[in-house]
Amino acid sequence: MIFEEEIASFVSALRYERAMSENTCESYERDVVNFAAYMKLAGADGASVVDRSDIDGYFQAERERKMASSTRARRLIALKLFFRHLVERKIISENPMEVVARPKKARILPRILAEDEVAEMLDSVGVDTPRDLRDRALLEVMYGCGLRVSEVCQLSVSDVVSDGELLRVIGKGFKERLIPIGVAAGRVLAEYLACGRGAFARDDRRTEFFLTRLGKPFTRQGIFKVVRERAAAVGIAPGRISPHVLRHCFASHMLRHGADIRAIQEMLGHADIGTTQVYTHVDTKRFGEIHRRYHPRG
């Protein structure tokens, strides 16, 4: 088989057998395509001829190109999954990735906004028009529930359950979780459903929670635009804000107010507690600032 056929088989398995999210499938596909392009320059057009020296040469070239360690780590995972798939399918007999060590991934602390900055942004959006009501509800649920932008796009009206107390979310790998809806978010969500959503729902068959002015579900890019626009209105620079920053703020601010890290892990939908623990490093940094400011010998 040639690389194109092998990659198509691999991506199909990720999507339909492993039930990985579309974003993850696309990322891993790009990573394997990148490796295939490197191998084609060396005259190879199929995984059966790849050996350990080819893998080492590829990652050496990535280091020389100053590729970020996080990107190299993800590409290594993608290639491990790719070659494991080919062995399982008996497309190749030996796995050249079997003894390749995973590069250390640099820890990058998440960007967050101060609590008063988030509050100012949310409170600046009125509720007098359907558009303002929709945008306010969108921002409140992202910050109030810590959702990924893809999860917001997929929200349906029926996902507000338990008399508006809980939000049902389908996360990565189609895993379902329930997240409490806070008082502020719950109030605006109810008002949007009662008085705002009808202005956008041109088709009664539409079940998506958030709709554009054309009556269609929001895309990731559309939500990104709303977040940037509303942040700019209160002077928050574009480079400091994104839908994912609001997710970081949710976790960091909850931790700061004493929430249990295991509970935060569940609400964020993290499979590994280690992913959630990055927020403890953010708070540790704050503790250092407090110590230097207030200790008599700081």
pLDDT tens readout for residues 173-190: 788 999 999 889 999 999
- Of 165-179, 223-237, 283-297, the range with the lowest mean pLDDT is 283-297
Q: What pLDDT does 111 receive?
A: 85
Give the 3-state DSSP-derived string for the chain, with helices as H, strands as E and coil as C.
CCHHHHHHHHHHHHHHCCCCCHHHHHHHHHHHHHHHHHHHHCCCCCHHHCCHHHHHHHHHHHHHCCCCHHHHHHHHHHHHHHHHHHHHCCCCCCCCCCCCCCCCCCCCCCCCCCHHHHHHHHHCCCCCCHHHHHHHHHHHHHHHHCCCHHHHHHCEHHHEECCCCEEEEECHHHCEEEEECCHHHHHHHHHHHHHHHHHCCCCCCCCECCECCCCCECCHHHHHHHHHHHHHCCCCCHHHCCHHHHHHHHHHHHHHCCCCHHHHHHHHCCCCHHHHCHHHHHHHHHHHHHHHHHCCCC
Indicate which residue of 28, 143, 192, 279 is catalytic. Answer: 279
CA–CA gap between residue 272 and residue 192 (Å, rounded): 34
Indicate which residue of 52, 168, 228, 244 is catalytic. Answer: 244
Structure-model confidence comparison of residues 182 and 7, the more confident one: 7
Concerning whether 228 is annotated as a catalytic residue, the answer is no
Q: Give the mean model confidence (pLDDT) for residues 5-26.
A: 89
pLDDT tens readout for residues 228-251: 999 999 999 988 999 999 999 999
Question: Domain 115-292 carries which CATH code?
Answer: 1.10.443.10
Give the predicted TM-score (pTM) of the model. Answer: 0.65
Q: Which residues contact 187 (CB under 8 A, 6 or more apart)?
A: none
pLDDT tens readout for residues 80-133: 999 999 999 999 988 988 866 555 555 566 788 999 999 999 999 999 999 999
Concerning whether 38 is annotated as a catalytic residue, the answer is no
Concerning whether 281 is annotated as a catalytic residue, the answer is no
Q: What pLDDT does 187 receive?
A: 92
Indicate which residue of 168, 172, 216, 220 is catalytic. Answer: 172
- The answer to whether the CB of 79 falls within 8 A of the CB of 7 is no
27, two tokens: 């990322």
Structure-model confidence comparison of residues 115 and 285, the more confident one: 115
Q: Give the mean model confidence (pLDDT) for residues 15-19.
A: 85
Concerning whether 279 is annotated as a catalytic residue, the answer is yes
**pLDDT above 90: residue 292:** no
Indicate which residue of 148, 197, 230, 248 is catalytic. Answer: 148
CA–CA gap between residue 6 and residue 29 (Å, rounded): 11
Angle at CA of residue 225, ends 203 and 113, nearest 5°: 125
pLDDT tens readout for residues 31-78: 999 999 999 998 888 898 998 889 989 988 998 888 888 888 899 999
Q: What pLDDT does 285 receive?
A: 56
- CATH fourth-level superfamily of 3-88: Tyrosine recombinase, N-terminal domain (1.10.150.130)
Concerning whether 15 is annotated as a catalytic residue, the answer is no
The residue ranges of every structural domain in the chain are 3-88, 115-292
Concerning whether 244 is annotated as a catalytic residue, the answer is yes
Indicate which residue of 75, 85, 247, 253 is catalytic. Answer: 247
Q: What pLDDT does 248 receive?
A: 93
Q: What pLDDT does 283 receive?
A: 60
- The answer to whether the CB of 95 falls within 8 A of the CB of 84 is yes
